[in-house]
Structure 1
Amino acid sequence: MQDKVQFGDQLVSPEEKTRRVGGVFSSVARRYDVMNDLMSGGMHRLWKDRFVARVKPRAGDVILDMAGGTGDIAFRMAKRGAQVTVADINRDMLDVGIERAKSRRIEGLSWSEQNAEKLSFADASFDAYTIAFGIRNVTDIPAALKEAHRVLRRGGRLFVLEFSTSEWPGFGQAYELYADKVIPRIGKAVADDEESYRYLVESIRRFPKPDEFRRMIADAGFANAKVEPMLGGLVCIWSGWKI
């Protein structure tokens, strides 16, 4: 029997988790960016700006933006001249991103349906690999990190933006209460989908703490693995180099 994995607070088979996560993002795709604004008070835009500033995309850089869905990170990097492939396991999220790129007249992006655990790209294909608010939804996170390492060139950079656990006294507990009681209700009111947002809250709670995930990045073969916490670790930027 295969080991069970966490889908939020439930234990399910790996295949069931992959299927359910796909259902969550198909359900929320059209309202995903509106919900991000409402849930974070618009702060997700500042976090993403800071994230891209750490990536430092340049003209000529070839970057894979995994779980790039609706294009928020890719658009920022493309404006700096990078050649970005937006990859996501969910076709509905990609379709929203393609529509947004057309409406904003952002060109030069490639779009690809990919499973982070088993990418179709050749070894040493990219200068950087980014994933923002997507790694916690991957069924086998170590496998995804090893794939990121594989498709990067020597000297390539890994950057991860994700929620984790705030160590600020009082703030962490206040956020937990907000996440448990308010976010699912916002999901119900705005996206007519309480359960998907309840899963997203649970997936944040289950994600490794900042230093633990930094060690996972190092274990995947990345050198100089670092973590930059924001809001006491509620949101973090992790990075590592392929040498």
Structure 2
Amino acid sequence: MTSSARFWDKTARNYAKSAIGDMPAYEYTLGRTRSYLKQSDHALELGAGTGSTAIALADSVKQITVTDISGEMLDIGRERAAEAEVTNISFAQAIPKTAPKGPFDVVMAHNFLHLVDTLESDLADIAWRVKSGGLFISKTPCIAEPGLGLKFGLMKVVIPLMQAFGKAPFVRYLGIAELEKLIGDAGFDIIETGNYPVRPPSRYIVARKR
């Protein structure tokens, strides 16, 4: 088991109890994502955690496959799907490289890309799993953007110390331009963007595979 898997396994139950930080922003991007989905779609969500977003979107697709590095997170997701009586959802412990091959009509990665330390190769693995003309939909905190203030400056000091003691996961400090370039370089054309919330910016991106 990797250190990332161990970290998320340990924090899974507390994570499941935590409230969404900005509910209006979450609901808005959930609605935008739903607008791109079709009843015939087979979708894949990477780094899905406890599966809450996938469960909310399940009625908009034919089938949705949920993956996460943490088996504990997925166990909670299975419990929640059963409680919600969602039957068109499946769960698999995986990273992008080992995720089901597809190809999928839509691949999603919400609040995930900044948590992987092999982003360039992961984006290539994602692109390989999206059918030609299919969609990649993501939302990513971009805390390398300027002007975020003292709090985020301190985070860059504190997080490495916490990581040394296993108290924080890997975090990549991404800027919006860098993130969009990496997605474009992976073989996608970006068709919609926005920051939800605006500060600190969580970049919502809808991209179509070339």
Q: 1:140-172 CA distances to partner (integer Å, 9 max, x unpaired)?
A: 111111111111111101111121127585xx2
Take 1:212 and 1:226, find their aligned partners in 2: how far apart are those partners?
16
Matched position secondary structure for 2:2: helix
Q: 2:59 is matched by which residue type in structure 1?
A: K
Note if contact 1:64-1:128 (Cα within 8 Å) is conserved in structure 2.
yes
Q: 1:95 is matched by which residue type in structure 2?
A: D
Moved more, 233-242 or 22-31: 233-242
Aligned to 2:26: 48
1:113-152 paired onto structure 2 within 5 Å: 113-122=93-102, 125-152=103-130
For the aligned residue pairs, the C-alpha RMSD in angstroms reads 2.7
- Shift in Å, 1:81: 3.8
Q: 1:31 is matched by which residue type in structure 2?
A: N
Matched position secondary structure for 2:49: coil
- Shift in Å, 1:242: 0.7
Call closer, same or farther: CA 1:104–1:220 in 2, change over 3 Å.
same
Q: 1:115 is matched by which residue type in structure 2?
A: I
Note if contact 1:67-1:132 (Cα within 8 Å) is conserved in structure 2.
yes
Number of positions where the alignment pairs a residue of Structure 1 with one of Structure 2: 202
Calculate the TM-score normalised by the size of structure 1.
0.73
Among 168, 172, 186, which residue is 1:199 paired with?
Answer: 168
Calculate the TM-score normalised by the size of structure 2.
0.83
Is 2:189 aligned against 1:223?
Answer: yes
Alignment gaps of 5+ in structure 2: 160-164
- Shift in Å, 1:131: 0.7
Looking at secondary structure, tell me which structure has more helix per residue: 1
Aligned to 1:158: 136
Runs of 4+ in 1 over 4 A off after TM superposition: 166-169, 177-181
Note if contact 2:41-2:105 (Cα within 8 Å) is conserved in structure 1.
yes
Alignment gaps of 5+ in structure 1: 1-17, 184-194
Q: 2:71 is matched by which residue type in structure 1?
A: R
Matched position secondary structure for 1:70: coil
- Shift in Å, 1:120: 3.9
1:1-243 paired onto structure 2 within 5 Å: 19-37=2-20, 40=21, 43=22, 45-55=23-33, 56=35, 57-122=37-102, 125-165=103-143, 169=147, 172-173=148-149, 175-176=151-152, 199-200=168-169, 203=171, 206-224=172-190, 227-230=193-196, 231-232=198-199, 234-243=201-210
Take 1:180 and 1:30, find their aligned partners in 2: how far apart are those partners?
26
Note if contact 2:145-2:176 (Cα within 8 Å) is conserved in structure 1.
no
Structure 1 vs Structure 2: percent identity of aligned residues?
Answer: 20
Moved more, 157-166 or 22-31: 157-166
Q: 1:33-89 CA distances to partner (integer Å, 9 max, x unpaired)?
A: 32344xx2xx1x333322232322221111101111211110121132442111112
- Shift in Å, 1:94: 0.6
- Shift in Å, 1:130: 0.3
